[in-house]
Structures are given as structure tokens and as C-alpha cells.
Amino acid sequence: MKSHPYVILGGGIAGLTTAIALKQIGIEAVVIEAAAEIKPVGAGLALAANAMMALLQIGIADQVIPEGRELKAFSIYDQKGQIITRTDTDPAHSRFGISNFTIHRADLHRVLLAQLEPKNVITGMRSVDFSEDSEGYLVRIENGEQIRAKYLIVAEGIHSSIGKQLLPDAKIRFSGYTCWRGVMDNSGLNIAETSETWGKNGRFGVTPLSKKQVYWYACINAPTPNSSLKSYTKADLEANFKDFHFPIPEVLAGTKPDQIIWNDILDLEPLSQFAFGNAVLIGDAAHATTPNMGQGACMAIEDAAVLACCLKRNSDPALAFLEFEKRRLPRTQKIVKDSWRLGKIAQLENPLLMGLRNSFFRMIPKKVTEKQLEALYQVDLS
Ligand SMILES: Cc1cc2nc3c(=O)[nH]c(=O)nc-3n(C[C@H](O)[C@H](O)[C@H](O)COP(=O)(O)OP(=O)(O)OC[C@H]3O[C@@H](n4cnc5c(N)ncnc54)[C@H](O)[C@@H]3O)c2cc1C
């Protein structure tokens, strides 16, 4: 049986970033990952200034930045291409000294993995459950192995098995919409702007990445999770979005069908506990959110920075985990709730309500939106 003082369950963005942050403060943690190989699931990602500040604190912003593309503004359009809002991120940049970036998930994972020793990332090990005794935790692995840990950091994402054992009543919610994502070559279209379009039969987002790539996502309302929409082909998506403005039909047309990923949009109803003695939940296992504010991975990265600070300050890790919980609960709960509400607004289908929504958003002064963004990026990482 293998025994480690610190075990991080899950080698996604939360688990890997936390292992790096702990390494910086002299704590060697071992990451236990279910997948046979660490392969990013997904396409593109926005890393907002709050995540970039956390990466700076952890000491890896310089490695991430060259892989990303600066995101200077974000526009929302209606289906015909009329502007609804445009938000410049420059004021936030001046305030926090760092920009927003977009990045391909594969590039981010590669950078994160490169910071860790191969011996500290063990793949092909899916946790099943755990028990506790006087020596700490005993984690049972699907392949029959067992792992001993004194301290457990649970970063297994929204469907975490250990998370379910710690909080059996935690509720995964279906947002009411389902989502496709893809990445395509941007050399022909040269899309320079990050935008989202709110139409009558769905929402479509387009984000240029570095390396002449563009990332897109499409959200369509669905009656139930795992609905028949799941079997939508590229042709179905093209038909659904054919009346949307440039470059949406072109982006879909240029995407290879095998580069399209589908998943329902889910979140975790805000939890009221992250710390459980010598175990702690982080990342999506603690606060999975709908992607409407682009903050899920950003919060996971913040978690890594804050957890390292708490562990540095407290000689007793259980106290560090409690401090982490106290600091992270309010912010993450608020983002999960705000994102849920924003998704409902963005996915409206009733033409009257859509018209009212668009007029309302058009009236919001630029300064107000910029202030909201500044408040979102304002995070205590100490
Ligand atoms: C459509 C969409 C768009 C998004 N866009 C953005 C964005 O622009 N910006 C942003 O900040 N966030 C975004 N997010 C959210 C972001 O993807 C997640 O918040 C982030 O990936 C969470 O990271 P994590 O490491 O906590 O969890 P995960 O990425 O789910 O990683 C969990 C890891 O744990 C492993 N694991 C699971 N179970 C076990 C087990 N039993 N034993 C061992 N290992 C296990 C998994 O294999 C996985 O590697 C988006 C999400 C979606 C769905």
C-alpha cells in the first residue's frame, strides 16, 4: 500500500494547480487521477484577471501567458449582429495589473503538468471511497489498490465519488440547456473579437485563441438532461444557427465533426461546507458552476493559491482547511448563484422577454458593467 502525507484526488485544473502551489511552499503532494492519461476534456477556456493574479502568486503566470491570447473586450450581440453590450477589460487591467487571457485547455494542462515531477502524478487510479482511522485516511481505488493519506484534497470535479461520500445530500442541478464546444482553424476567418450571441433558438460564443485557433460554444435549451439533443450532428447545429450573423455559420462550417464535444450544463447547488477535518473539497468538487461567467476554472486556480496561503499560515492543516472554507465559501457561492441567473437570462426564448432583456442590457451604462467586472476580479488571495 502506498502512503503519502498529502494526496490530491483528481488531476484536473484544480488538482494540478494545487499540487504546484503546495510545491512552492514546500509541501509535496501526490496527485491521483482516474484517467489513464491526463488529457484535457474541453476546448478553450477564458482565464480572467482573478485567475491570472492567482497564477502570478503561484509563480506560473510567465509559463501560461505565452500559451494564451490577451482578451481585451467582450461583446454580446443579438441574432442579427446588433450589439447589446461591449465590455472593455482595460480598466480592470489597469486596476489589477494583469489582463484576461484565453487559452486552449490542452496548452494549460501541458504547462501545469510540466511543473510537476512525473512521480507526483499517478494516473489510472479512480478513487471509490475512503475510510478513516488513527493513522489518517485509507482511499480505496477501483483497481483494488489502497492509498493512505494523512491529508486529503479532493479535486475530482462535479461527480466526485469522495465528495458524494462527504456530502451525500449535495445536489447536482441541470441548468436547462445543453452545450457543444469546438476549436477550429482561424486563419481563414481571422476572428479577432470574443463575443456571445443571444438568439431565439440558442446562444453562441466565439473566442479567438493563440496559434490561429478559434474556440466556440453553442448552448440550446433542453427539456431534460441527456435529452435527444445529445445526438445533434454538426449538420443539426448548422441548421439551428443558420440565421445567426457572421461568423457563426462560418465557424460551424469550418469545424471538423470529430472536434465537437457535447455535454449538458450542470452545477452544484452551493454547498455550505468545504472542510472535513483533514480533508477538503476544492475546484468543481466544491463549487461547480455553470460556465456563463467563465469562472469555474478561475475559481479552481484561486482555490490553489488560497489553500497554499492557508497551509503556510497554519501549522495544523485541519485549521488551514477551515480557514480556506471560511474564505472561499462566500465568493464561490455568489459566483455560482450569479452565473445560474445569468444563464437563465441569456437562454430566454420568449420574443417579448428577449426584446425587453436586450433593451435593458443596452441601457446599462458602460461604467456600471466595468465596475461589476472589477468586483468579480477583486479576490483576496492572501
Ligand atoms: C462549456 C464549459 C465552458 C467552460 N468555460 C470556462 C471558462 O471559460 N473559464 C473558466 O474559468 N471555467 C470554464 N469552465 C469551467 C471549468 O471547465 C471547470 O470549472 C474546471 O475544469 C474545473 O476543474 P476541476 O479540476 O475542479 O475539475 P475537473 O476539470 O472536472 O477535473 C477533475 C479531475 O478529477 C478526475 N477524477 C474524477 N473522478 C475521480 C476519481 N474518482 N478518482 C480520481 N480522479 C477522478 C477527472 O478525471 C478529472 O481529471 C467551463 C465549463 C464548461 C462545461
Domain ranges of the chain: 2-69+104-172+268-345
Q: Which of 7, 13, 113, 303 to mutate to test the pocket of ligand 1 (most atoms within 8 A of CB)?
A: 13
Please report where in the chains the cell 491570472 appears, as a residue: 52
Ligand 1 centre distance from Cα of residue 13 (Å): 7
Work out the average pLDDT over 47-67: 97
Compare 97 and 153 and report the one with higher pLDDT. Answer: 153
Ligand 1 centre distance from Cα of residue 94 (Å): 30
What is the rounded CA–CA span in Å between residue 173 and residue 266?
A: 5
Percent of the chain with pLDDT strictly greater than 70: 99
**Quick one: pLDDT at residue 91?**
80
Question: Would you place residue 40 in the very low, low, confident or very high pLDDT band (cuts 50, 70, 90)?
Answer: low
Ligand 1 centre distance from Cα of residue 163 (Å): 14
- Which atom, in ligand 1's list, is nearest to the CA of 35? 47
What is the rounded CA–CA span in Å between residue 257 and residue 179?
A: 15
Residue 326 reports pLDDT greater than 80: yes
- Which atom, in ligand 1's list, is nearest to the CA of 286? 26
Torsion sign across C-alpha atoms 307, 310, 313, 317: negative
Spatial CB neighbours of 119, under 8 Å, sequence gap ≥ 6: none
Ligand 1 centre distance from Cα of residue 44 (Å): 12
Residue 1 reports pLDDT greater than 90: no
Percent of the chain with pLDDT strictly greater than 90: 93
- Which atom, in ligand 1's list, is nearest to the CA of 161? 41
pLDDT tens-place string over residues 335-345: 999 999 999 99
Work out the average pLDDT over 295-315: 98
- Which atom, in ligand 1's list, is nearest to the CA of 16? 25
Radius of gyration of the chain measured on its C-alpha atoms = 21
What one-character-per-residue DSSP string does 175-201 give?
Answer: EEEEEEEEEEE-TTT----EEEEEETT
Calculate the CA 237 to chain-centre distance.
24
Work out the average pLDDT over 317-321: 98
Question: Which residue lies with its CA nearest to atom 21 of ligand 1?
Answer: 297
Residue 371 reports pLDDT greater than 70: yes
Please report where in the chains the cell 474541453 appears, as a residue: 42
pLDDT tens-place string over residues 77-108: 999 999 999 998 888 788 899 999 999 999 99
Question: Which residue lies with its CA nearest to atom 15 of ligand 1?
Answer: 296
Torsion sign across C-alpha atoms 314, 315, 316, 321: positive
- Which atom, in ligand 1's list, is nearest to the CA of 32? 43
pLDDT tens-place string over residues 237-295: 999 999 999 999 999 999 999 999 999 999 999 999 999 999 999 999 999 999 999 99
- Which atom, in ligand 1's list, is nearest to the CA of 126? 42
Work out the average pLDDT over 314-331: 98
Ligand 1 centre distance from Cα of residue 223 (Å): 24
Work out the average pLDDT over 339-352: 98
For residue 166, give the C-alpha cell: 462527504
- Which atom, in ligand 1's list, is nearest to the CA of 296? 19
Question: Which residue lies with its CA nearest to atom 31 of ligand 1?
Answer: 12
What is the rounded CA–CA span in Å between residue 363 and residue 163?
A: 43
For the chain, what is the mean pLDDT?
96
Residue 41 reports pLDDT greater than 90: no
Question: Which residue lies with its CA nearest to atom 20 of ligand 1?
Answer: 297
- Residues 86/75, Cβ–Cβ less than 8 Å: yes
- Residues 349/201, Cβ–Cβ less than 8 Å: yes
What is the rounded CA–CA span in Å between residue 205 and residue 252?
A: 11
Residues near ligand 1 with C-beta < 6 Å?
A: 9-15, 32-35, 42, 45-46, 126-127, 155-157, 160-161, 179, 181, 217, 263, 283-284, 291, 294-298, 300
The number of CA neighbours under 13 Å toward the Cβ of 5 is: 8
**Quick one: pLDDT at residue 216?**
98
**Quick one: pLDDT at residue 3?**
81
Ligand 1 centre distance from Cα of residue 248 (Å): 26
| Top-tier CATH class for 2-69+104-172+268-345 | alpha beta
**Quick one: pLDDT at residue 313?**
97
Question: Which residue lies with its CA nearest to atom 49 of ligand 1?
Answer: 12
Q: Which of 8, 16, 20, 33 to mutate to test the pocket of ligand 1 (most atoms within 8 A of CB)?
A: 33
**Quick one: pLDDT at residue 355?**
97
pLDDT tens-place string over residues 190-230: 999 999 999 999 999 999 999 999 999 999 999 999 999 99
Calculate the CA 106 to chain-centre distance.
14
**Quick one: pLDDT at residue 92?**
77
